[in-house]
Amino acid sequence: MKRSANITIMSILLVCLLVLTAGNAFGEEYSPLKGLKSIKAVFNFELGNPQSALINLKLIHQTYKDENIRKVTKKPDFVVIFLGPAVKLVSKSRSGFTAEDQKILDEFASTVSAMAKDGIKLEICLFAVKVFGVESSTILPEIKQVGNGWISLIGYEAKGYSLVPIG
């Protein structure tokens, strides 16, 4: 039952990714972007399933690089804050994960690194790190550690960032 639910979620996310990619291929314009001078988004990333999380992380990265976003601004301001069970995915420690999940986590770490190189800010909630038993010294180096991710979310929203919940 849980496996079929995961497959359904993955299928929906794949369709969304394909639609987004097709939009680029056909030069689709997004009317809500008209008139904007900048784009600022903060992603509340809470997914703990490695496969679903990887798809969503790649989608965030692709969105950052999307030509429709780049028509508004060459340098969008994106922040990803890892909270809840997602904190386990950004640790160098892979204990408790299957061999298949560990391969996915390698790709997840590679995507995090590419996102940081492209200018996407990444943060992790140390409160969640403690709750989920992750050692803070194992967190991927590209990710800024903050005491409470909700405080960061509040601050970014107060500064005009659009909140995008993932999870």
| pLDDT tens profile 11-26 | 555 555 555 555 444 4
pLDDT at 158: 98
The label of the residue with tokens 């909630």 reads 125
Contact between residue 140 and residue 108 where contact means Cβ atoms under 8 Å apart: no
Q: What is the pLDDT of residue 35?
A: 87
Confidence check: pLDDT of 166 > 60: yes
Domain count of the fold of the chain: 1
Question: In angstroms, rounded to a whole number, what is the distance separating the alpha carbons of residues 20 and 66?
Answer: 9
Distance CA 84, CA 153 (A): 14
CATH number of domain containing 134: 3.40.1260.10
Q: Which domain holds residue 17?
A: 2-166
Question: Average pLDDT of 34-54?
Answer: 94
Structure tokens at 95: 């204990």
Give 34's Cβ-side CA count (13 Å radius): 5
CB atoms within 10 A of CB 41: 19
Q: What is the pLDDT of residue 29?
A: 78
Q: Which helix (H) or strand (E) holds 165?
A: strand 162-166
Mean pLDDT over residues 119-143, rounded? 97
Q: Decide if 93 contacts 134 (C-beta within 8 A).
A: yes
pLDDT tens track for 66-109:
999 999 988 999 999 999 999 999 999 988 899 999 999 999 99
Please determine, for residue 10, whether its predicted confidence score (pLDDT) is greater than 90: no
